[in-house]
Amino acid sequence: MNQQQDERSRIREAIDRLMAGQATRSDGSLTVVALAIEADVHRMALQKRHADLKETFYARARAETHQPPEAEKRLRKDVARLKANPKATRDSEARAWHRAEQIVLAAAVLTRQDQNAPRKLPENVIPMPGTDPR
């Protein structure tokens, strides 16, 4: 049995244990992270090489628990929060743009004032001919 077949069999066994609520290595949550820990497989290997088993796990979790996986719940909560108050987001963005404009204008005024201020050169500096010695 090669390494990939061994990983796939460990993943299938881990799916069965997690769905039965008999986790031995992980916290027993129905997530890809818990599945990877339970199967003793790197999470990215599960995501890339065994994506079909990951999808099987999620489908089975939805079917047997009659609810979406934890990751989907978190994403749905975030989407709902972001959609709930778009006006506040736009207002916050407008305030940030206004503040940025104020900062740029203040910097321009300070730069202009600095250019108009007379400068006294230190005693050990001799101005080059043709330059403004301000």
pTM, full prediction: 0.51
Contact 32, 71 (CB under 8 A): yes
44: number of Cβ within 10 Å: 9
Q: Measured between alpha carbons, how far is residue 7 from residues 4, 21, 56 in Å?
A: 5, 21, 15
Residue range 32-37: average pLDDT? 92
Contact 29, 71 (CB under 8 A): no
Same domain as 60, residue 93: no
**What's the mean per-residue pLDDT of the chain?**
84
Asked, for residue 129, whether it belongs to a domain, the answer is no
Banded pLDDT at 34 (limits 50, 70, 90): very high
pLDDT in tens, 46-104: 889 999 999 999 888 888 887 777 777 888 888 888 788 787 778 888 999 999 999 99
Could you list the residue range(s) of the whole structural domain that residue 8 is in? 3-80
Contact 46, 11 (CB under 8 A): yes
Same domain as 75, residue 30: yes
Q: Is the pLDDT of residue 1 over 70?
A: no
Residue range 5-21: average pLDDT? 91
Six-digit token string for 15:
């799916």
To the nearest whole percent, how much of the chain has pLDDT over 70?
88
Asked, for residue 122, whether it belongs to a domain, the answer is no
Same domain as 107, residue 68: no
Domain count for the chain, please give it: 2
Q: How far is 19 from 15, CA to CA, in rounded Å?
A: 6
Same domain as 92, residue 48: no
Asked, for residue 128, whether it belongs to a domain, the answer is no
